[in-house]
């Protein structure tokens, strides 16, 4: 139990540091080292949990978080179009992998499909009404939006459960919510507070997903 507490405290300190760096208007590249270490930390927790669970289906969860960490590293260089697209593709793979794991491990309910459809339709309406625009990344980001919406919808339906299901579901939904904040930051507001909320939701969310293998 002691090492878990120490680990969570270190992870919290890294997340707070990253948020502080955003509030100080430090560029993604200057935040790169802290972001990479924080991402590596949730992957490490998932790997430990996967080993303790004996692998199997749980490998999917660890792979999903590895894709997310790869996306984090690539988006450090988001000012490079190729890195940005590669980052979006990595997060798309993460969302798909976590969604598949969710269905295979916890099943799904009909209302997760309703939540998913509402999210996708809302995104389409917002773009049609010019609330925001994905510009030249429209195809990549709309595919990603569909995949992360599925992940968030499946996570939301697990919030009524307990134990591992609750941790995993809450983590996936926080991941989806963080992406909404990131989208608003990149394509609408450019407000450092919105960007900070993204990190406040994303990194703890990924940690919860990883910790679902350790309960």
Asked if the model's pLDDT at residue 1 lies above 80, the reply is: no
Q: Write down the pLDDT at residue 169.
A: 97
Q: Are 88 and 145 in contact (CB under 8 A)?
A: no
Overall average pLDDT of the 199-211 stretch: 98
Q: Write down the pLDDT at residue 160.
A: 86
- Residue 63, token pair as written in the block: 């792979």
Cα(176)–Cα(152) distance, rounded to whole angstroms? 5
pLDDT digits (tens, 9 = 90+) for 188-197: 888 899 999 9
pLDDT digits (tens, 9 = 90+) for 91-132: 999 999 999 999 999 998 888 999 999 999 999 999 998 888
The pair phi, psi for residue 86, each rounded to 5°, is -60, -40
pLDDT digits (tens, 9 = 90+) for 140-187: 999 999 999 999 999 999 998 889 999 999 999 999 999 999 999 998
DSSP single-letter state for residue 31 = T
How many structural domains is the chain composed of?
A: 1
H or E segment at 118? helix 110-128
pTM: 0.95
Number of neighbours of residue 20 by Cβ within 10 angstroms: 14
Closest listed residue to residue 101, CA positions, set 65, 69, 56, 60:
60
Residues 6+ apart with CB under 8 A from 44: none
Q: How many residues does the chain have?
A: 215
- Averaged pLDDT of the chain: 95
Overall average pLDDT of the 14-42 stretch: 96
Q: Write down the pLDDT at residue 173.
A: 98
Write out the residue range of the structural domain in which residue 87 sits: 2-211
Asked if the model's pLDDT at residue 51 lies above 80, the reply is: yes
CA 60 to chain CA centroid, Å, is 15
């Amino acid at each position: 139990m002691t090492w878990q507490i120490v680990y969570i405290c270190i992870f919290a300190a890294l997340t707070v540091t990253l948020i502080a760096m955003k509030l100080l208007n430090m560029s993604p590249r200057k935040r790169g080292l802290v972001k990479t270490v924080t991402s590596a930390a949730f992957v490490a927790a998932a790997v430990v949990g996967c080993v303790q669970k004996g692998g199997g289906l749980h490998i999917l969860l660890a792979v999903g978080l590895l894709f997310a960490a790869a996306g984090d590293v690539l988006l450090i260089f988001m000012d490079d179009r190729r890195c940005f697209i590669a980052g979006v593709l990595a997060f798309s793979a993460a969302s798909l992998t976590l969604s598949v794991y969710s269905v295979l491990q916890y099943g799904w309910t009909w209302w997760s499909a309703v939540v998913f459809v509402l999210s996708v339709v809302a995104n389409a309406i917002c773009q049609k009404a010019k609330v925001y625009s994905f510009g030249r990344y429209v195809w990549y980001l709309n595919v990603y939006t569909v995949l992360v919406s599925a992940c968030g919808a499946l996570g939301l339906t697990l919030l009524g459960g307990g134990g591992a299901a609750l941790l995993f579901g809450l983590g996936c939904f926080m991941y989806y919510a963080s992406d909404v904040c990131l989208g608003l930051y990149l394509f609408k507001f450019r407000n450092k507070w919105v960007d900070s909320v993204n990190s406040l939701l994303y990194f703890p969310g990924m940690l919860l997903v990883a910790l679902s293998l350790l309960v």
